[in-house]
Structures are given as structure tokens and as C-alpha cells.
């Protein structure tokens, strides 16, 4: 294994962090470097300080903004430029929720609103290709999954579909050997969800059929199992893309 292993994590909201994935990275000896997207709001070109061609892992986390909000948030274009370089070099990269949409856009796919929002706990339908990947740990037989998004994307050309849900077909895909995009949140824990309820209360109150009490009850029911399966998934993926 390489010395001084690191993972760069682009975070859009302080409470949407690595959660259960943190312990997996620590077990593998990784130094975690959080990079706050908001720090680049006024000077998005400064994101060039991140070495796109580094063998270090890159993880891009979620957030309530849209890939299409580039005028309001110019750092989105900077993230997409970074991703294009990493994708071309097939460097180990994981996108979660907004991060997945950024990867899809970097591959030429459009991001657009779904017919309805998907907020809550729903099972994943793992494709045949997904069953032969690290996503096998996240299938409906093992756990329910947290979803929190209103937009979706077309499957990029050359990508392999790994998972779907009842409401959204394109929930996870891989590209090349080392690029993985997940529309859902396998990193979540029961404790971290309480921060989401506070931080996203505006969206919760504006979404029909969704409320904190129901989300908390479902989180109590499903989160601990997902935390265990999420760690198995992430550990498996790390072992697939790790540089020897």
C-alpha cells in the first residue's frame, strides 16, 4: 500500500459528511482531508489546488443545490472540470447524491427534475452488474436505503447501471474501473440523520407526504442495519480501487 494515503472529500454542507465511512477509511490508514465547496464560492479557480491526477481517493458528497445552479455557484463548474480530468485518467472517485449528479454531468448527461421527490427509506433494486460489484451489500435483501433527492439524470454513455429504485431508474452507475456514482446515501447513520432533519426542515415541510416524525421512525427502524451494510459496501469498494 502507498505511504501517506489520503482521501480528499469535497463537502457542500457541514452535516452531510462521511458519517459511517469515516471508520472504514481510518481502518485503511487514510488521512481525511475535507475540502469545503463554499470556500471556493468567490474564487472557484482556487479548486485547481486539488491534484486531479493524484492517486488519492476523491469523494464528492451531497448537498441541496443543483448541478444546474452554475450561475449562482460557479464552483460547480470547477468541480465538473476536476471530475472530467479524473474520469479521463480513471482515478478512484466516488460521488454521492449531488456528487453522483456531478459525475453524470461531467460525462455529458443532463440533470433534470424527477416526476416527484424521493425523500425517505426505500429499497434498492440491484442490477445483474450491480450484484457482481460492491453494491451487492446494499440490495433490498440486506437493508433499506436512504434517498434524498428531487433530480435525476440520464445514464451517461459508456456507464454501467448498477441500481434503480421504484421512483428513479438511474440510482447508481460505474464508469471505467474506478469511478462510482451513487444517487442515494449509504453513508448515513441514525445519529447523523438528526442533523439532516434540522438542516433540511424547509424542504421537509414543503414536500407532501414527508415529515420529521415519519423520517425519524423509519431511521430508527432501518439506519443501524444500513450502517453495517454501508460499511461492508464501502470497504469492498476501497479494496477494489486501492492502489497497491
Q: What stretches of 90-211 show up as alpha helix (H) in DSSP?
A: 98-106, 128-131, 190-199, 201-205
Domain assignment present for residue 122? The answer is: yes
Domain assignment present for residue 45? The answer is: yes
How confident is the model at residue 4, as a pLDDT? 65
Q: Which three cell numbers stand for residue 115?
A: 416526476
- Along the 244 residues of the chain, how does pLDDT read in single tens digits? 445 689 999 999 999 999 999 999 999 999 999 999 998 888 888 887 788 888 899 999 999 999 999 999 999 999 999 999 999 999 999 999 999 999 999 999 999 999 999 999 999 999 999 999 999 999 999 999 999 999 999 999 999 999 999 999 999 999 999 999 999 999 999 999 999 999 999 999 999 999 999 999 999 999 999 999 999 999 999 999 875 4
Q: Which three cell numbers stand for residue 81?
A: 472540470
Return the sign of the alpha-carbon dihedral for residues 127, 27, 94, 146: positive
Q: What's the maximum distance between 2 C-alpha atoms anywhere in the chain?
A: 50
Q: What is the bridge-based pairing of β-strands 145-153 and 6-11? A: unpaired
- 115, 164, 144, 156: which is closest to 218 by C-alpha? 144
Domain assignment present for residue 57? The answer is: yes
Total domains in the fold of the chain: 1
How confident is the model at residue 52, as a pLDDT? 85
Domain assignment present for residue 201? The answer is: yes
CB 237 within 8 A of CB 180: yes
Based on the number of CB atoms within 10 Å of its own CB, is 53 exposed (0-12), middle (13-18) or buried (19 or more)? exposed
How confident is the model at residue 1, as a pLDDT? 40
Buried b (16+ CB within 10 A) or exposed e, 85-116: ebbeeebbbbbbbbbbbbbbbbbebebeeeee
CB 50 within 8 A of CB 39: no
Domain assignment present for residue 221? The answer is: yes
How confident is the model at residue 243, as a pLDDT? 54
- DSSP H or E stretch at residue 203: helix 201-205
Q: Which domain holds residue 10?
A: 6-241
Q: What is the bridge-based pairing of β-strands 6-11 and 57-60? A: parallel
CB 197 within 8 A of CB 179: no
Strand partners, 153: 111
- 130, 77, 134: which is closest to 106 by C-alpha? 77
pTM above 0.75, yes or no: yes
Domain assignment present for residue 214? The answer is: yes
Domain assignment present for residue 166? The answer is: yes
Domain assignment present for residue 1? The answer is: no
How confident is the model at residue 86, as a pLDDT? 95
Residues 89 and 176: their CA atoms lie apart, in Å, by: 10
For residue 79, what is the domain's CATH number? 3.40.50.880
How confident is the model at residue 83, as a pLDDT? 97
Amino acid at each position: 500500500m502507498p505511504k501517506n494515503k489520503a482521501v480528499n472529500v469535497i463537502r457542500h454542507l457541514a452535516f452531510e459528511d462521511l458519517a459511517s465511512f469515516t471508520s472504514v477509511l481510518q481502518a485503511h490508514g487514510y488521512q481525511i482531508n475535507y475540502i469545503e465547496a463554499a470556500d471556493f464560492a468567490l474564487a472557484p479557480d482556487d479548486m485547481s489546488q486539488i491534484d486531479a491526477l493524484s492517486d488519492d481517493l476523491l469523494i464528492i458528497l451531497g448537498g441541496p443545490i443543483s448541478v444546474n445552479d452554475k450561475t449562482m455557484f460557479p464552483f460547480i463548474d470547477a468541480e465538473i472540470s476536476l471530475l472530467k480530468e479524473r474520469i479521463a485518467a480513471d482515478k478512484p472517485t466516488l460521488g454521492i447524491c449531488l456528487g453522483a449528479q456531478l459525475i453524470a454531468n461531467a460525462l455529458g448527461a443532463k440533470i433534470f427534475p424527477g416526476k416527484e421527490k424521493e425523500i425517505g427509506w426505500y429499497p434498492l433494486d440491484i442490477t445483474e452488474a450491480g450484484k457482481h460489484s460492491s453494491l451487492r451489500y446494499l440490495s433490498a435483501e440486506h437493508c433499506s436505503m436512504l434517498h434524498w433527492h428531487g433530480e435525476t439524470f440520464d445514464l451517461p454513455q459508456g456507464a454501467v447501471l448498477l441500481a434503480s429504485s421504484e421512483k428513479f431508474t438511474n440510482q447508481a452507475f460505474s464508469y471505467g474501473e474506478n469511478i462510482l456514482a451513487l444517487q442515494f446515501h449509504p453513508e448515513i447513520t441514525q445519529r447523523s440523520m438528526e442533523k439532516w432533519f434540522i438542516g433540511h426542515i424547509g424542504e421537509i415541510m414543503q414536500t407532501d407526504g414527508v415529515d420529521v416524525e415519519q423520517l425519524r421512525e423509519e431511521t430508527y427502524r432501518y439506519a443501524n442495519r444500513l450502517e453495517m451494510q454501508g460499511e461492508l459496501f464501502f470497504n469492498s469498494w476501497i479494496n477494489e480501487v486501492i492502489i497497491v
